[in-house]
Amino acid sequence: MSENVKVANPLGTESIKVLANRFAIPSIIAMLVGSLYNVVDQFFIGQSIGELGNAATNIVYPTVPACVAIALLFGIGGASSFNLAMGMGKTEDAKYYIGSAATLMFVLGVFVAAVCEIFCDPLLSFFGCPENVFPYAAVYMRICALGFPFQIFSAGASHLVRADGSPTYSMKMNLTGAIVNIFLDALFIFVFGWGMAGAAAATVTGQVIASLMGAVYFRRYKTVELDLKAFVPSRNHALRAMGLGTSNCINQMAMMALAIVLNKSLSYYGAQSVYGDSVPLAVSGIALKCMQIMMAVIIGFSQGLQPIASFNYGARNYDRVKEAVWLTLKRAAAASIIGWAVFELFPLQILELFGSGSDTYFKFGVMYIRVYYIFMLTYFGQPIISNFFSAIGKPKLGIFLSLTRQVIFLLPLLLVLPLFMGLNGVIIATPITDMIAFILCFTLLFRELKRPEYQGE
């Protein structure tokens, strides 16, 4: 039976380029659409409220990677575990990875929402919210929190759907939610005049609809039958999924910690500069949202690689694993170079998309964006290589590489450099980190691919 599964599954037989296109393109579109949730909010808020509204969305931003962390912990972890089990021919066991992951994502989403509602004001203070931004941030966060269970479930379910060989449906989930969000943003903000509350309500509505689409898909899962028993969380299956999803989860948790430290640093050192505390926060928020667009493309490539690498590694098709990872890295490198050129050449035009501001705001913004993105052309390495190690069942390496950029390198630089350079130290910490993480990730990848199994020995 095991051999029949391996032969029948296209992940083990079809051309790597065909598979990469089939899984990566819908994943990229889905991730780009998903990134629109925050970017569109930033656009409409910037156009209607301006600088303080942009600063408010940046203050609330740490809740986004917190939710995505849970979604990836069980989404990518469950998908990787499922594909590895299927590659080994363990069909009956595989379904429990999907069911356990789906249930735990929603339950943990409810918990996160409750924490944010109960401790909203203390959390905003901890995030570094200036007094003049606080009213906008509080309204936005309290409404967005209501959608956290749906945000986590829909983001994670898209990976579980993709693992079933349905990347197009996964894309449709994200696309539908984003279109609803965009339409309602315009309606609630410009027609109804609801401001920050309207932007948050539009986001939550889109997330609910995407979640419902995911729940409907689970009733007709293709490769295995998901009965009710499969959705009762299993300790062993949950822990296995968490092990393979931890690197991606930690990456997002590190992003949350990074966002908090960055906001605090920008506010503190910005107040000591000619720019003040709100201008650096507003500009940083725009830069982060724009980076999400680039990240969406890179992570989309990475997600397209995951089922191919997991299945073929489980089936011991090491040549196909190696071919898939190199193809993915080449394509992601090309995308990174294009993104780098856009942000370096047109920083002012990008800022103007997100509303008006003072001359000081635009002067700081152009400088910040150019420095922030200066090594963006190297960014593709860390997300893809760390996820690759998790996909082939080596989560310790994946976790380590996920920690390198945000925790091991960037956080210390953010704490140390400003002591000597003030606000400029905060700004240059990111590009320095990007280059160091790039070198380390490729060093470990080369070491992995020199192992005997990849050489046909």
pLDDT attached to residue 34? 66
- Tell me the average pLDDT of the chain: 87
Query: Could you tell me which residue, 218 or 259, shows the higher pLDDT?
Result: 218
Band of pLDDT at residue 8, cut at 50, 70 and 90? low
Where do we find the tokens 């606000």? 423
Confidence at 456, pLDDT banded by 50, 70, 90: low
Tokens of 215: 């729940």
Question: Given a cut of 60, is residue 2 above it in pLDDT?
Answer: no
Q: Is residue 379 a contact partner of residue 329, using CB atoms and an 8 Å limit?
A: no
Task: Inform me whether the pLDDT recorded for 253 exceeds 90.
Answer: no
**8 Å CB contact between 254 and 338:** no
Residues of the chain with pLDDT > 90: what percent?
A: 35
- pLDDT tens-digit profile of 396-424? 888 788 778 777 888 899 999 999 999 99
Please write down the HEC assignment for all residues of 137-168: HHHHHHHHHHCHHHHHHHHHHHHHHHHCCCHH
Which pLDDT tens digit goes with each residue over 277-301? 888 888 888 888 788 788 888 988 9
Instruction: For tokens 């590895």, name the residue.
Output: 84
Task: Return the pLDDT at 6.
Answer: 38
**Segment 326-371, tens digit of pLDDT:** 999 999 999 999 999 999 999 999 888 887 777 888 999 999 999 9
HSE-CB of 138 using CA atoms within 13 angstroms: 12
pLDDT value at position 35? 72
Stretch 228-248: mean pLDDT: 86
pLDDT band for position 457 (50/70/90)? low
Question: Which is more confidently placed, 25 or 429?
Answer: 429
pLDDT above 90 (res 198): yes
pLDDT tens digits along 174-190: 889 888 988 999 899 98
- Kindly tell me if the per-residue pLDDT of 225 is higher than 90: no
Answer yes or no: are the C-beta atoms of 312 and 12 closer than 8 Å.
Answer: yes
Q: Which residues contact 247 (CB under 8 A, 6 or more apart)?
A: 386, 387, 389, 390, 395, 398, 399, 401, 402
**In the chain, pLDDT over 70 holds for what percent of residues?**
96
Half-sphere exposure in the Cβ direction for 334 (13 Å, CA): 6
- Assign 37 a pLDDT band (cuts: 50, 70, 90): low
